[in-house]
Structures are given as C-alpha cells and as structure tokens.
C-alpha cells in the first residue's frame, strides 16, 4: 500500500486524513465510522470480499448516501473517490457502480435525506 492509501476508506475511498482507518501498520483499526459509506473501520472492512459487498450495497441500494451528510463536500466527485480506493480493495465492478450512479443521478430527497437537505442550505 502506498502511504496515501493509509488515509482512505477501503469501501468508498473517502480520505480520512489526518486519521488512518487501519493505523500506521494497517493492522490497528480505529473503529471509527466512515462519514461517507458508514462502514466501521476494523469491523466490516476486514476483507476484500466484505469491502466489495458493502460497496455494492452502498452504491446500488443506498445510492451512495452519505452516512454523515453534513460532511459531504459541495460538488462531491463520487467517481474520483471510488477510483481512488486503495488498490488491494478495488473491485472489478467499481467502474459499473460509478456509471450506474452517474446515470441515475441523485436520488430524490425523502425521509431523513429530505430533512438534512432542509437543514443544510442556510449556512
Ligand atoms: Zn467509506
């Protein structure tokens, strides 16, 4: 793994710096929650297989919903983030997930998502 990868979520590729989800050694998970895909470092992302299945569910079922919507940057570049996932945790279908997400566009705001959308703009 290159050093940049130590800062990235294995499931969605979000840069967690200055925190390292799996520590300096890659073996000491922080048990923090990714504010993007919502995975717990060290619990759900402990194997490539798990990372792929969580990523698929997050992209296809949750439509890349942010676990912590307030942390989502304006103009979030989902494709760039997914393409930046650490190499050992990339999946063959990542590009399909990206294309499907880009073609479908943002899901309509409803329920909790609508609520946070209402809270967001005023600042
Ligand atoms: Zn993540």
Look at residues 15, 19, 20, 26 and name the one whose alpha carbon lies nearest to residue 88: 26
CA-CA-CA-CA torsion sign (68, 71, 75, 78): negative
- 123 Cα–ligand 1 center, Å: 25
Q: Divide the 123 residues of the chain into consecutive groups of 10 and give the mean pLDDT of each group.
A: 87 97 94 98 96 97 96 95 97 96 72 56 51
Task: Tell me which DSSP letter residue 88 carries.
Answer: G
Q: Which residues surround ligand 1, an ion (CB under 5 A)?
A: 9, 11-12, 14, 34, 36-37
Ligand 1 midpoint to CA 36 (Å): 5
Query: Which residue, among 98, 10, 7, 22, has the nearest Cα to 52 in the 3D structure?
Result: 10
Q: Is residue 31 within 8 Å of residue 40, measured between CB atoms? A: yes
Both tokens assigned to 95: 């590009």
Reported pTM: 0.83
Number of structural domains, the chain? 1
- Three-state secondary structure call for residue 62: coil
Q: Rounded to the nearest whole angstrom, what is the distance from the C-alpha of residue 66 to the centroid of ligand 1?
A: 9
Residues spanned by the domain of 48: 3-119
Extract the tokens encoding 14: 């979000």
**pLDDT given for residue 105 in this prediction:** 67
């Amino acid at each position: 793994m290159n050093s940049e990868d130590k800062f990235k979520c294995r499931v969605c590729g979000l840069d967690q710096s200055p925190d390292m989800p799996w520590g300096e050694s890659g073996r000491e998970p922080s048990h923090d929650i990714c504010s993007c895909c919502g995975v717990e470092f060290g619990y759900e992302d402990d194997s490539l297989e798990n990372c792929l299945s969580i990523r698929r569910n997050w992209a296809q079922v949750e439509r890349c919903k942010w676990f912590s919507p307030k942390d989502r940057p304006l103009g979030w570049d989902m494709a760039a983030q997914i393409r930046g996932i650490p190499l050992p945790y990339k999946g063959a279908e990542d590009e399909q997930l990206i294309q499907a997400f880009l073609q479908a566009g943002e899901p309509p705001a409803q329920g909790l998502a609508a609520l946070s959308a209402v809270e967001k703009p005023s600042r």
